[in-house]
Amino acid sequence: MFTGIVTDVGRVRALEKRGDLRARIGTAYDMSGVDMGASIACDGVCLTVVDKGEDWFDVDISAETVSKTNLEAWTEGRRVNLERALKVGDELGGHIVSGHVDGLAEVVAITDEGDSTRVTLRAPESLAKFIAPKGSVALNGTSLTVNEVEGLEFGINFIPHTKEVTTWGDVSLGDMVNLEIDTLARYVARLNEMS
């Protein structure tokens, strides 16, 4: 479990195609405090540490994960939002995030509004029904509040702090973003289906 509060922006140092995709990610985390097998959300995808060094860790990414996320677009040097797994007693500053990406949303508009930036995204039709105004979504691992929803499109406002401490300051039109819908919305929708 995660909170969607990004605690480091890492950088992809190497990619190697094996049976799975192996990625080496540089980080500012104190890796002496990270166990082998620990979960780290990388752009919102829960991945397992399979090797580590002083300022890096390796993860194996299955073909299934690559097919459902934007990790196939990773290149060496790419910046990546990182979050270590939630521990009992940690502050829950965002919302409950599993690191299980539901699909990809496309950035369709970017507008500066004062010091903030409004980003409009288009969700897949199968997921749009779970996105509500003032509800939560995780986008590339960042817990965010939805401002408005119109059909398949929804808007998010990024304050300067979020743009500085995440990869959202690098956003471009056409970017495909990892989307995890709010777990509560998923269960409410499922309960409604069964009623």
Percentage, residues of the chain above pLDDT 70: 99
pLDDT tens-digit map of 23-34: 999 999 999 999
Q: How far, CA to CA in Å, does 134 sit from each of 9, 66, 162, 195? A: 26, 30, 18, 25
pLDDT tens-digit map of 153-190: 999 999 999 999 999 999 999 999 999 998 777 777 76
Give the pTM: 0.94
Domains of the chain with CATH codes: 8-84 (2.40.30.20), 103-194 (2.40.30.20)
The vertex-15 CA angle with 119 and 100, nearest 5°, equals 50
pLDDT tens-digit map of 73-88: 999 999 999 999 988 7
Q: How far, CA to CA in Å, does 54 sit from each of 6, 170, 178? A: 20, 27, 28
